[in-house]
Structure 1
Amino acid sequence: MEQPNSPEAAADRVLDAALMHVAFDGWTDATFRAAVLDSGVDAALAKALFPRGGLDLAIAYHRRGDTLMREALAKTDLSSMRFRDRVAHAVRLRIEAVEDREAVRRGTTLFALPLHAAEGARLIWGTADAIWDALGDASRDLNWYTKRATLSGVYSSTVLYWLGDDSLGHQATWDFLDRRIEDVMRFEKVKAQLRENPLSKAILSGPLKFMENIRKPVVPDDLPGRVMDRFRPKS
């Protein structure tokens, strides 16, 4: 549980205060300075928590959405859903976790800049990874990458559609999401057919042999700053 005087609580106060300014100033240093003043958090602490100012605030806001999605998904009974519906539901929960559409719009603009495009791509990948992990994905081979790459495309395109959607209850967005998921399922069906086709298997035997050696990245837990993670309680 988050302690009221912890760095995490201070970061939340700064981020909450920033949301009052993002619509006018974007995820900028001006927003960061105003948020520090409004939150009452010590300026030195705020700078340590968000060393890149507005950029780190935007990153924190995106990751807060991932956390809220995981919490909402953990409370959902998925047993009666088809797997494709579970994925669509997770994406919808992630989008609905956002309370301020203008904050997302400003973040999309920020991460579209060449300077921050790589950071934005990492955040989208992180969201896709969070969704697959929450759904119990156990893949460790090439599928670990392809699942997240495909879902990254689905999620990012759906967010862009949602930003311009004024339909009642954003129903047009959820219809769009269903179509994208259906496209993915058709693609997966074609992949499965190719794997079973003798001619395709013969042609792809070389590349497939190489791809069998691709594995999910694993970060060693004995690196500086991580060695004690194994002893910490899971949140």
Structure 2
Amino acid sequence: MTIAPVDPILDQLIDAALPHVAFDGWSPETLAAATRDAEVDPAVAKALCPRGAVDLAIAYHHKGDAAMISALKAADLADMRFRDKVAHAIRLRLQVIDDKEAVRRGTTLFALPHMAGDGAKLVWGTADAIWDTLGDTSRDANWYTKRMTLSAVYSSVILFWLGDDSLNMQATDDFIDRRIDNVMQFEKFKAQAKANPLFKPFAGTLERMMGAIKAPSADADPDLPGVWRDPQ
């Protein structure tokens, strides 16, 4: 998956905003200070961030996703199990974060009730970016379940990481492995359930229902999380 590069002026605003985010959060005050420090015309800043600092926080997240994709494409994953590839991708996403406090403030912002939709879309987008970069080809219900599961894992990892003060973030590394283990245990449970004789009378009906679910098409509502992106 290819993520469009951040507009150069918007990138300047992000860099100028980070020193202020620790004190003022992703707020109008931060955007005003960033506009002043980066010497950007306020009208241009308004055009780039019509919703104010919210759009700046969103752009910061997208910038991190783009950096993760580049790092993941450059990584040698040939000898890794698939579960280890996913864990490595999550670790890379954390490694490209250059300001932990900016993420903390962003997490607070997107936890607000009226911002929850934007927050969910950002997390879904990160999960979508990981799966696409790792070569996921599913186009049925698995397309959704993979991203839903990874979104839950990534969200829990971020919250743990924000409070982690262990040496070299070793506690977070261990936490990632445990969460991936939980997912693999769930997948094993699903496989066992399908093999259970009690499940067989319902298997055909369930498979037909699940088979009717398809990945989003190219003309999907752009406001929905994880909309289809044509290969670039």
> Structure 2 length as normaliser, TM-score?
0.91
Q: RMSD between aligned alpha carbons?
A: 2.0
Alignment of 1:42-61 (within 5 A): 42-61=41-60
Between the two proteins, the alignment pairs up a number of residues equal to 221
Structure 2 spans left out of the alignment, 5+ residues? 223-228
1:139 aligns with 2:138: yes
1:155 partner letter = Y
2:23 partner letter = F
2:70 partner letter = E
Structure 1 spans left out of the alignment, 5+ residues? 1-5, 224-228
- The aligned residue for residue 226 of structure 2 is none
1:120 partner letter = G
Runs of at least 4 residues off by over 6 Å: none
Shift of 1:201: 2.7
- The aligned residue for residue 159 of structure 1 is 158
- The aligned residue for residue 174 of structure 1 is 173
1:162 partner letter = W
> Which whole-Å deviations, capped at 9, do the CAs of 1:102-157 have from their partners, x for residues lacking one?
00000000000001011100000000000000100000000000000000000000
> Structure 1 length as normaliser, TM-score?
0.89
- The aligned residue for residue 77 of structure 2 is 78
Q: State the distance in 2 between where 1:49 and 1:195 align.
A: 50
1:214 partner letter = I
Shift of 1:61: 0.7
- The aligned residue for residue 28 of structure 1 is 27
Shift of 1:202: 1.5
DSSP 3-state at the match of 1:126: helix
DSSP 3-state at the match of 1:115: helix
1:190 to 1:74, Cα distance in 2 relative to 1, 3 A: same
8 A Cα contact 2:6 2:63, kept in partner: no
Work out the percentage of aligned pairs sharing the same amino acid. 59
Q: State the distance in 2 between where 1:81 and 1:194 align.
A: 28
Shift of 1:199: 2.5
8 A Cα contact 2:22 2:101, kept in partner: yes
Higher RCO (C-alpha under 8 Å, 6+ residues apart)? 2
8 A Cα contact 1:194 1:201, kept in partner: no
- The aligned residue for residue 209 of structure 1 is 208
Shift of 1:96: 1.1
